[in-house]
Structure 1
Amino acid sequence: MDAIRTLKLAGAALIVVASVNAWAQGSESAAASTATQGTSKSAVRKANRALSKKVAQALSKGGIDTTGINVLAKGGAVTLAGTVTDPTQIEKAGSIAKGVSGVTSVKNALTIREGGQ
């Protein structure tokens, strides 16, 4: 009898812990959606394009050949995708992108361009 009662109490405690965790996650996503609710989709797209352009210009000014690089921005998160000719440019491009105002994170997916491509 005591074992059954102990299992019931342990199960109840587990349910309480799981529900508190789920409740905390739900409130975070609600806060995030409320924050973006005030801006229109076109304004968000315009801001993302402007940030992409700003990062591409910074890369070009920093001596990176941007002809094979795509810069994608979404809410401050920037992704660098494409190819560069020199392996040292991969790290350099990432550090330049991190230094641009408005950039919150950088995902560097650049690769080295093989000869003849």
Structure 2
Amino acid sequence: MNAIRTLKLAGAALIVVASVNAWAQESESSATSTATQGTSKSAVRKANRTLGKKVLQALSKGGVDTAGINVLAKGGAVTLAGRVADPSQIEKAGSIANGVSGVTSVKNALTIREGGQ
């Protein structure tokens, strides 16, 4: 009976040690947050807004109707969302956004606006 109790206690201790060790390991997301730790959240938000505005201006200058387009930027990754009137503007918007300095990737989620919408 004592041998079973001792084995249970040793097994529980082993599980606790293993879980504490796994919890203490650094993940990729915490490594990136450590790299940006010197930058305040408001500065990061401001940089994201500035990049979004630059992309929107480039789209407008490039001949894309930006009335129904939202540009979301996060750390250089840009998402284009909304609707455009012409199917050719979807590809054009993606290539223009990809050419803006500071943009590392573009997710193009634009759709074609149906008539009357």
- Aligned partner of 2:107 in structure 1 is 107
How many residue pairs are counted as aligned between the two chains? 95
Indicate the SS of the match to 1:26: coil
Indicate the SS of the match to 1:37: coil
The answer to whether structure 1 residue 75 and structure 2 residue 75 are counterparts is: yes
TM-score of the pair, normalised by structure 2: 0.76
2: CA distance, partners of 1:26 / 1:96: 38
Aligned Cα root-mean-square deviation (Å): 1.6
1:28-69: CA deviation from partner (whole Å, max 9, x where unpaired): 333211111111010000000000000000000000000000
Q: In terms of Rg, which structure is larger?
A: 2
- Structure 1: segments with no counterpart, 5+ residues: 1-21
- Aligned partner of 1:62 in structure 2 is 62
Cα deviation, residue 27, structure 1 = 4.8
1: CA distance, partners of 2:26 / 2:97: 32
2: CA distance, partners of 1:36 / 1:82: 30
- Aligned partner of 1:16 in structure 2 is none
Q: Determine what percentage of the aligned residue pairs are the same residue.
A: 87
Q: What pairs with 1:1-117 in structure 2 (closer than 5 Å)?
A: 26-117=26-117
- Structure 2: segments with no counterpart, 5+ residues: 1-21
Indicate the SS of the match to 1:51: helix
